[in-house]
Chain A
Amino acid sequence: MSSPPIPVTVLTGFLGAGKTTLLNRILTEQHGRKLAVIENEFGEVGVDNQLVIAGEEELFEMNNGCICCSVRGDLIRILGRLLKRKDRLDGILIETTGLANPAPVAQTFFTDDEMKSAFRLDAIVTVVDAQHVLQHLDADDEAVKQLAFADVIVLNKVDLVSAAALDALEARIRGINAVARITRAQNCAVPLDQVLNVGGFNLDRATELDPKFLEPEYPFEWAGAYPLPAGSHELVIGHEHDHDHGDGHDHGHDHDHHHHDRDKNQLDLVILPVGGTAEPQLTAARNLAVTAFAGPAVRSQPGGELRPGAFLQRLMLAEEKGTFRLLIPAAGSYVVFEECGEVPLHIQVGGEPVKPGWQQDYHAAHEHNDAVTSVGIHQAGDLDGTKLNQWISELLRTKGGDIYRMKGVLSVKGSDRRLVFQGVHMLFDAKFDRAWGQDARENTLVFIGKNLDRAALTAKFQACLV
């Protein structure tokens, strides 16, 4: 008897961003589908043969006004009435006011059993005015939340902004919400299949995620493996003189330029011997380096001696430069993990630079400026269902206020099906969907929120692995 849930699209965005333009576009282009629109104001939209209902935001605050426990009473009422029709609607569009916090709207579809079974929150679409959004992001928490909650971000009015400014803006948005699909548009001209029925609230699109985002973040940005003979060599930081850049580690390439606040006259390194540059040896060295970066640092002044080992070496520089003695006890491969990837680093043996035989850039943990960020975890293996449940319950109880959105596809021991879950603040919903089949059993989790601790989230997640 029960029909599939009706998809709901929520349109958010600051006043003037272009929400109404997008809404009108959807309504005029959606011939043949019966949509109902719940507007936040009267008289903005008028399209024949579509149902337009003016709503007035009414919050039901269940728990002393806590926003995590608030739902939209007006939506429960209006959507409840929209179900009382002989003919099913094909979709619902909800337009929120410019200053609205999207959380109560999303929570409505998690807490109310009738809403939960009759509707499916398809996507939160946030329309952004490319020209003015930066000033909102700096001035207004709600603008950041609207981006953080989004499944789809329409970067509108791109014709009014330079390409470089757009790239910078997109990078800033990515820093806040790494999983939303960003679509650039003029006058909200976006293909409708990018805003309707996008399935934004599930993670089937996990493979479309920025692969770099899913990599864990590291306390270092660069590593290189050098074949070195035994003896005393030179490790040079900074450009001593003009030379051919093909021989060392010099960041003229397209490495992300990070703007974190670091003292330019010191640089942290870990130098480790490795048995070879095959994957297992490098992984072991990398894990050792992560631990060493968290430990106490041994300082070295220019001209001082550096020895390989699993500890952090803090190189003191003068005018961002310094030359150190690198004492190598036995011939072999040595990996240097460098805190800041943009600082030139060269190793010279007998005055001749040595090329790294292998090198790698890492996603650094300290590049974001916004308090609202995304944390992704991507790891193979099976999870212990009980531990997972305990962790998520505890996490939402203690950190739910700061976690805006959460999505995941998980591999739970004992089930041949994928566990798909999603959450908003303290509420979450998990269900087993299709069988893994031929797909690799992997776990993908994404958290978007305020003051997220990547290391702690990752460690707690890993503790749930079988």
Chain B
Amino acid sequence: MELTKHWAAQLEDYVIDLAWAPAGGSLAAAAGSGPISLFSAADGNRLHLLPGHEQGTNCLAYSPASAALATGGQDGAVKLWDCASGQHTATAPLGRDWVEHLAWSTAGLAATAGRKLLLLGPDAALRHAFPEAAKTLSALAWHPTRAVLAAAGFGAVRLWEVPTWTLEKDFPYGNGIQALTWSPDGRWLVSGNQDPSVHLWLPAEDTELQMSGYESKVKHLAFDHTSRWLATSGGLNASLWDCSGGGPEGREPQMLEHATPVCAVSFQNAHGLLATASTDGTVNLWSPERKQPLRATVRMPGAAARLAWSPDDRLLAIGSERGAVYVLKCEP
């Protein structure tokens, strides 16, 4: 495997979010202070610098179907941008709470603002406001194949069925939830928790599992494309759980070692490599099924805040706490 530096760029602030355009031609990177840069995947040229959100940008998400980029900010708004022209096309003001989570699917754009959960159309028009949650929503994830949206906050994860707007499931959980993900096959719904633990639901089977033993709250989760491996942060090492068969209960996780706490995990989209980052600036690449899983180590000048694989899995984008964006080329 060959890992080479492809290009690098600098934002004015902390890289708070990072996403590749679905067609793969560009990378969007949001600075915590607000501006959003669109870089050419090929050479790192800045194609557009979008003003973003005045008091700071929190998140961004590409539409799977068009060249639209959605961003959410501390101004309580969702903004849509046309990536080809770099034009701001629409704004959905959602109130005074921060917009903290965005997730697209073919059903539309889901957004959270405080305790509100909303579904917006591709033009940012409000399609549906779900009943307000009891606590601020802290994580959001679409089911990979069905039009079901999972939204979590302290105390519960709720599954909403979109065409009918009905509550499909209400999973109580007595603690804070930091992250939420579905396995690509839609079988597992997993939360990373404040307590600190990982909780797994099998919604179709009404079964749930709790995996504890973490050193600190679990803020990052990633499944591999086969739905077998679940990578989690939550301490000095990344823990890798085997979710095949009945799931990780009774199994020991594989510990993928770092010298300082793990701050990001990301699996390739259609291949087996896992990237993990720790606060000392290390980024490791792993092949979980190998006897010697560590494939490569890269040392960055600052801790990675975000990791993102390009749609074709050939580029790994790393956004740092100091505002640097590095793109590495990874060839098998």
Contacts and interface: CB of A to CB of B under 8 A. Distances in A.
Given A86-B14, A86-B323, A113-B217, A73 B32 contact: no
Most B CB within 10 A of own CB, among A42, A85, A114 = A85
Given A1-B260, A1-B279, A58-B136, A73 B176 contact: yes
A77 interface: yes
A76 B321 contact: no
B256 to A, nearest CB: 20
Contacts of B303: 1
Contacts of A2: 279
Given A1-B279, A81-B58, A85-B14, A114 B136 contact: no
Contacts of A84: 14, 16, 32, 305, 321
B321 A86 contact: yes
B169 interface: no
A60 B12 CA distance: 34
Interface of B: 12-14, 16, 32-33, 56, 58, 96, 98, 100, 114, 135-136, 138, 154, 174-176, 194, 196, 215-217, 260, 279-281, 303, 305, 321-323
A62 interface: yes
A130 to B, nearest CB: 35
A74 interface: yes
Nearest to A111: B194
A64 to B, nearest CB: 9
Contact of B136 (A42, A77, A86): A77
A112 interface: yes
A77 B279 CA distance: 20
Given A56-B114, A73-B136, A86-B323, 17 more contacts: A1-B260, A1-B281, A58-B154, A60-B175, A62-B174, A62-B175, A73-B154, A77-B100, A77-B136, A77-B138, A81-B56, A84-B321, A85-B13, A86-B13, A86-B14, A86-B322, A114-B217
B32 A85 contact: yes
For chain B, what secondary structure do more than half of its interface residues adopt (helix, strand, loop), or is it mixed? loop
22 contacts: A1-B260, A1-B303, A54-B96, A56-B114, A60-B135, A62-B175, A73-B176, A74-B136, A76-B176, A77-B100, A77-B136, A77-B138, A81-B56, A81-B58, A81-B98, A84-B14, A84-B32, A85-B14, A86-B32, A112-B217, A113-B215, A113-B216
A112 B193 CA distance: 11
Contacts of B33: 85
A77 B303 CA distance: 20
Interface in A60-81: 60, 62, 73-74, 76-77, 81
Contacts of A58: 135-136, 154
Interface in A102-125: 112-114
Nearest to B32: A84
Nearest to A63: B174
User: Which 7 pairs between the two chains have the least Cβ-Cβ distance?
Assistant: A113-B216, A84-B14, A84-B32, A86-B13, A60-B154, A86-B14, A86-B323
A60 B194 CA distance: 11
B209 to A, nearest CB: 21
B198 to A, nearest CB: 16
B176 A60 contact: yes
Contact of A112 (B56, B96, B194): B194
A230 B303 CA distance: 85
Contacts of B175: 60, 62
A163 B256 CA distance: 67
Contacts of A56: 114
A387 B216 CA distance: 28
Interface in A378-392: none
A42 B100 CA distance: 19
B16 to A, nearest CB: 6
A429 to B, nearest CB: 15
A77 B154 CA distance: 11
Contacts of B194: 60, 76, 112
A66 to B, nearest CB: 12
Nearest to A64: B174
Contacts of A86: 12-14, 32, 321-323
